[in-house]
Amino acid sequence: MSATVPLRAEELLARRRDSMTISGLSIAGGDYRGIDLSGVRFDNIDARGARFAGASLESSRWANCRIDGTSFEAADLTRARLQTCGGEGAIFSRARLMYAEMHTCTLRGAIFDGADLTRAALEQSDFQTAALENALLSIAWLRACNLAHVDLRRVSWNTVQSVDCDFTGARLEDAQLVHCAFDGARAPGADFTRVHAPYSSFARADLSGACFAGAFLKGAKFDMASIGKASFMAADLTMARLVGASAGISLFADAILAYADCSHMQAPAADFSRADVTGTNLHAAQLDGALWTGSNRAAARDTDMEQLAAERWEPSR
């Protein structure tokens, strides 16, 4: 990349008229606020600290670019694609990122305050310490992204599907996560206190030591999840699924587990004190040493021996 003085806005627009591909330039620190660069392909560009606030960047493509500290505030990045870009501290506040794609990007500490990421696809990208708490995520897709220790308190997500993402130590207190999926997530120590996540899925997730105290988890799915030392104290798990979950010494004190499916759950020494287990399916669950003080244990459904025999049946050789 060249270390020359950045192009002026009119010079960059002239380049666009000549070719929709702009490559190998340094525009670091340049002022391109409000200009129309829609459809342009930026390849191997140094745009660190450049200002694209309010710019039209619809369907633009950014490949192998440096956008550290670059401002895209209130820019239109609808259907834009960022591939293998480094953008620590980039500013996307109030940007329109609908249908945008971000692949293998490093966006640590980036600011998405008020950004619209409806139907965005984020894959294999690093968002550690990014500010996403006021971003709009709806019908979005996240795969293998790093959101460790990200502050997501009070976010409002609707139908966000995340697969194999890292939420280690993330903060999601009071978040609204309607019909969201965290399947295969790594989220040890994550804080989901008072989260509102009905019918969300945490299947196969590592939630060891996570906190779901006071959470609303009606119909949520924790099948085959690791929830050892997690706290579900006073959580509402009505009709939730914890089939095959590894609960260890998890805390379910004062929780509502009415009609939840806890079959095959491994919960030795778990604490169900004062829990409501009306109609809870405990078929083939490992509960040796579990604590039931003050709970209505007798109202739960125990192992169905005929079903268990059928599950264990093997054809004779």
More confident site: 293 or 249: 293
Residue 2: pLDDT band with limits 50, 70, 90: very low
> What pLDDT score was predicted for residue 3?
52
How far from the centroid of its chain's Cα atoms is residue 215's Cα? 17
pLDDT digits (tens, 9 = 90+) for 117-149: 999 999 999 999 999 888 999 999 999 999 999
> What pLDDT score was predicted for residue 314?
82
If phi > 0 it is left, if psi is from -120 to 50 it is alpha, else beta; for residue 311 that is alpha
For residue 68, report the phi and psi dihedrals to the nearest 5 degrees.
-60, 125
The secondary structure element, H or E, covering residue 12 is helix 9-18
Alpha-carbon torsion (277, 274, 182, 242), positive or negative: negative
Q: What is the mean pLDDT of residues 171-194?
A: 96
CA–CA distances in Å: residue 218 to residues 167, 200, 277, 288: 22, 9, 14, 26
> What pLDDT score was predicted for residue 4?
65
Q: What is the mean pLDDT of residues 43-61?
A: 97
Residue 255: pLDDT band with limits 50, 70, 90: very high
Report the mean per-residue pLDDT for the chain: 94
With a CB cutoff of 8 Å and minimum separation 6, the contacts of 65 are 42, 43, 44, 45, 46, 47, 82, 85, 86
> What pLDDT score was predicted for residue 304?
79
Residue 181 reports pLDDT greater than 60: yes
Residue 14: pLDDT band with limits 50, 70, 90: very high
Residue 1: pLDDT band with limits 50, 70, 90: very low
* Lowest mean pLDDT across 256-260, 281-285, 305-309: 305-309
Is residue 312 helix, strand or coil? helix
Residue 61: pLDDT band with limits 50, 70, 90: very high
Domains and CATH numbers, the chain: 147-316 (2.160.20)
